[in-house]
């Protein structure tokens, strides 16, 4: 059972907390900004074989870095349920009349929304650095950001149900989020990977998200954008189902 | 339904049991709570109080047994139980990144209170716990006592039929504790609510509760009004420290006295302690047992517990408290 109003209340709480954490908003854009600025400068003149010559590296990189921001923010938000559990607030929600499914969905949408806002902030920052995306394409990129954000917030929620406490957080970042990021084609085309690694990238949902973002913003993609849309779209639905089922089973004891 | 809506029991518990692995935290507990009562559950740390409350509030599934809260089965109708109850947990459960008002607003919304009613009620409950002037301050700036009061306000703001308070004054200083007792009594006077309160503070159970269930190692070992529990063991309680404890204990037992050996000495319960003391001395003298010290006081629920278990309900130091630990981590 899902109560739309319950989802909205939880979503609102996430947004309030997000808006209030100004230093975190700015802080979390630091690393991607440096990625974009320094990698962009460093590889400015490098010729990547699988990349058409008329596409500059910074244009190629910017959509990847925006996706990176969405990936990290959404996974963090999803996993942050563990904090709520640790600090007790989850109990306040769990003894209330709203259903577990509602709680899981509310958190997923709340976390996804903040990730999308962060993504657009990063887009604005990259504009300042000199990235010029197609204005109409930003509408399409919004769709892909939504799908990436929902997928990885949901995945974060699912992971949080398996975590005992916040100590597993570092593990999730280093052995889950970073590999997903590096194997997604965010920094260079997946075609550049040796055959056996490239194989893994095809099973990485973010690969399609990043490709869709790039198609939207600079009209270059490695796959058909419709395939990108289907792949990340189906994955996001799958994740929502799994995460609500897992969340439904948790006891807060 | 076994339970009729207008009968006077609002909670009915039958043989409720909870196992964690093969350890029984709550064992075949049965009791009933009447509408409008303040019902106390008194017991030392680890007795199973929190586990019991968690089962009654649908957070934990009982291993066996049955419990009805406000007429609903906690296993079969958890959603209805949740609509009928309010709860203040032993550990803090506020969102410290939000203000007091926002915490209450969130709460009112998830319990389906609509706009105008919610806003009015927020001012009302803040007033009742004396936090009206702190409404728009972030909760992380609150002291422990203020947070506790806010949690209590939140617990009853949605007009629950039953309010559970799990160790409401745990780790608070004496002054704040008394404050909170006042709020709880005011609550009982002003609102139509039944209160179930757990505690390991004797004074709290004695001052606040109409009836008290004493719980130890997961079992209820006594249940009655505070007065009758005290009278049951005799109104006075004498503690003696002697040279040869076990000999003296047997001696007293042979005189049909209620005696129990404690960590410090022997505890004797009697209805007229003043007259018993001379008798103790003559008995000791006759058997050449040296008495080191004798003290007489009015018996308390502590003595009831000691008499039943031979142990005290110890109050551990505040620094060791789980709540304190969590608060330190937050900083
Ligand atoms: N989730 C759990 N898993 C295993 N043992 C538990 C769990 N929760 C409580 N216990 C044990 O059950 C006993 C009762 O705990 P609790 O109900 O918290 O006691 P109280 O609230 O009276 O201090 C304790 O021995 C505690 O260690
Ligand atoms: Mg407890």
**B93 vs A5, A91, A98: nearest CB:** A91
Q: What structural domains does chain B harbor?
A: 9-228 (3.40.50.300), 234-298 (3.30.70.270)
Which tokens sit at B4? 């009729």
Q: What is the domain range of residue A11?
A: 2-249
**Residue A189: its pLDDT value, please?**
93
Is the pLDDT confidence value at B249 over 50?
Answer: yes
Q: Name the least confident of B65-74, B96-105, B211-220, B297-306.
A: B297-306
Average pLDDT value over all residues in chain B: 88
Q: Mind listing the pLDDT tens digit for each residue in B286-310?
A: 888 888 999 888 888 988 898 888 8
Chain A residue numbers with beta carbons less than 8 Å from the beta carbon of B112 are: 5, 97
Evaluate whether A61 touches A208 at the Cβ level (below 8 Å).
no
Q: Whose CA is nearest to atom 8 of ligand 1?
A: B51
> In terms of pLDDT, which residue wins out, A130 or B4?
A130
Cβ pair B96:A87 closer than 8 A: yes
Is the pLDDT confidence value at A66 over 90?
Answer: yes
**Residue B248: its pLDDT value, please?**
87
Task: Return the DSSP state at A74.
Answer: H
Task: Return the DSSP state at B99.
Answer: B
Report which of B220, B248, B180 is spatially closest to residue B305, judged by C-alpha positions: B220
CA distances B153 to A136, A165, B111, Å, are 51, 29, 14
**Residue A1: its pLDDT value, please?**
64
Q: Mind listing the pLDDT tens digit for each residue in B136-189?
A: 999 999 999 899 999 999 999 999 999 999 999 988 888 888 888 988 998 888
Which tokens sit at A143? 């769709």
> In terms of pLDDT, which residue wins out, B276 or A236?
A236
Q: Which residues contact A6 (CB under 8 A, 6 or more apart)?
A: A98, A99, A102, A103, A106, B110
ipTM of the complex: 0.85
Q: Which residues contact A38 (CB under 8 A, 6 or more apart)?
A: none
Q: Which residue has the tokens 């608060």?
A: B327
Backbone angles phi, psi at B148, to 5 degrees: -60, -45
The number of beta carbons lying within 10 Å of the beta carbon of residue B220 is 21
Query: In angstroms, what is the C-alpha Rg of chain B?
Result: 23
> In terms of pLDDT, which residue wins out, A252 or A178?
A178
Q: Average the pLDDT over A15-23 and give the result.
A: 90
Is the pLDDT confidence value at B320 over 90?
Answer: no
Q: Is B93 on the interface with A (CB under 8 A)?
A: yes
Q: Mind listing the pLDDT tens digit for each residue in B125-134?
A: 999 889 999 9
* Cross-strand pairs, B238: B268, B296
Is the CB–ligand 1 distance for residue B61 below 6 Å?
no
**Proportion of chain B in helix, strand, coil states, percent, rounded to 5:** 40, 25, 30
Is the CB–ligand 1 distance for residue B50 below 6 Å?
yes
Cα separation of B278 and B280, whole Å? Answer: 5
At CA B198, angle to CA B193 and CA B202, rounded to 5?
Answer: 115
Cα separation of B49 and B46, whole Å? Answer: 7
**A97 vs B54, B82, B91: nearest CB:** B82
**Residue A253: its pLDDT value, please?**
62
**Residue B331: its pLDDT value, please?**
37
B42 three-class SS = strand
Q: Name the least confident of A84-93, B23-32, B98-107.
A: A84-93
Which tokens sit at A228? 């990108």
Is the pLDDT confidence value at B323 over 60?
Answer: no
- How many structural domains does chain A have? 1
Is the CB–ligand 1 distance for residue A253 below 6 Å?
yes
Cα separation of B157 and B145, whole Å? Answer: 18
* Cross-strand pairs, B56: none
Please tell me which residue of chain B has the smallest CA distance to A6: B110
Which tokens sit at A148? 């990436």
Please tell me which residue of chain B has the smallest CA distance to A86: B326
Average pLDDT value over all residues in chain A: 93
CA distances A9 to B82, B103, B308, Å, are 18, 12, 50
Ligand 1 atom nearest to B26, measured from its CA: 14
Cα separation of A220 and A50, whole Å? Answer: 12
Cα separation of A111 and A80, whole Å? Answer: 9
């Amino acid at each position: 059972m899902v109560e739309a109003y319950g989802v909205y209340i939880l979503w609102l709480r996430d947004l309030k907390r997000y808006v209030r954490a100004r230093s975190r908003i700015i802080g979390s854009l630091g690393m991607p900004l440096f990625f974009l600025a320094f990698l962009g400068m460093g590889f400015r003149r490098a010729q990547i074989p699988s990349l058409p010559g008329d596409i500059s590296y910074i244009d190629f990189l910017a959509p990847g870095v925006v996706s990176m921001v969405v990936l990290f923010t959404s996974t963090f938000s999803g996993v942050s349920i563990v904090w709520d559990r640790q600090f007790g607030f989850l109990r306040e929600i769990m003894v209330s009349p709203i259903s577990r499914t509602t709680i899981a969905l509310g958190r997923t949408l709340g976390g996804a929304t903040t990730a999308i806002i962060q993504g657009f902030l990063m887009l604005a920052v990259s504009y300042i650095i000199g990235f010029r995306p197609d204005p109409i394409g930003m509408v399409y990129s919004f769709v892909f950001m939504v799908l990436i954000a929902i997928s990885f917030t949901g995945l974060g929620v699912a992971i949080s149900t398996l975590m005992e406490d916040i100590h597993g957080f570092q593990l999730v970042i280093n052995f889950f989020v970073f590999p997903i990021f590096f194997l997604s084609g965010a920094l260079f085309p997946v075609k550049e990977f040796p055959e056996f690694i490239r194989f893994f990238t095809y099973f990485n949902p973010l690969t399609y998200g990043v490709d869709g973002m790039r198609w939207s913003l600079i009209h270059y993609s490695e796959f058909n954008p419709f395939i990108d849309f289907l792949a990340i779209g189906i994955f996001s639905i799958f994740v929502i189902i799994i995460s609500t089922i897992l969340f439904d089973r948790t006891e807060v004891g | 339904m076994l339970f009729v809506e207008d009968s006077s029991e609002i909670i009915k518990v039958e043989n409720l049991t909870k196992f964690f692995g093969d350890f029984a935290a709550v064992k075949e507990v049965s009791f009933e709570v009447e509408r409008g009562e303040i019902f106390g559950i008194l017991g030392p740390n680890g007795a199973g109080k929190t586990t019991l409350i968690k089962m009654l509030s649908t957070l934990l599934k009982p291993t066996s047994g049955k419990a009805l809260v406000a007429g609903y089965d906690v296993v079969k109708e958890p959603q209805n139980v949740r609509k009928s109850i309010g709860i203040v947990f032993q550990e803090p459960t506020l969102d410290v990144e939000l203000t007091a008002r926002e915490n209450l607003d969130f709460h009112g919304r998830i319990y389906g209170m609509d706009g105008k009613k919610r806003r009015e009620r927020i001012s009302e409950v803040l007033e009742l716990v004396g936090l009206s002037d702190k409404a728009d301050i972030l909760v992380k700036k609150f002291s422990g006592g203020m947070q506790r009061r806010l949690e209590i306000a939140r617990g009853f703001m949605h007009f629950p039929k039953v309010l559970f308070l799990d160790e409401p004054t745990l780790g608070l200083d004496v002054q704040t504790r008394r404050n909170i007792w006042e709020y709880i009594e005011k609550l009982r006077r002003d609102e139509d609510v039944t209160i179930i309160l757990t505690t390991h503070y004797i004074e709290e159970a004695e001052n606040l509760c109409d009836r008290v269930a004493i719980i130890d190692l997961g079992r209820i070992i006594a249940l009655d009004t505070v007065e009758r529990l005290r009278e049951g063991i005799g109104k006075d309680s004498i503690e003696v420290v002697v040279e040869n404890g076990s000999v003296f204990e047997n001696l007293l037992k042979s005189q049909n006295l209620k005696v129990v050996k404690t960590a410090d000495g022997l505890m004797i319960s009697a209805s007229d302690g003043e007259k018993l003391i001379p008798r103790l001395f003559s008995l000791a003298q006759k058997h050449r047992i040296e008495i080191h010290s004798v003290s007489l006081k009015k018996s308390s629920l502590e003595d009831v517990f000691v008499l039943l278990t031979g142990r005290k309900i110890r109050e551990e130091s505040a620094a060791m408290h789980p709540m304190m630990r969590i608060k330190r981590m937050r900083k």
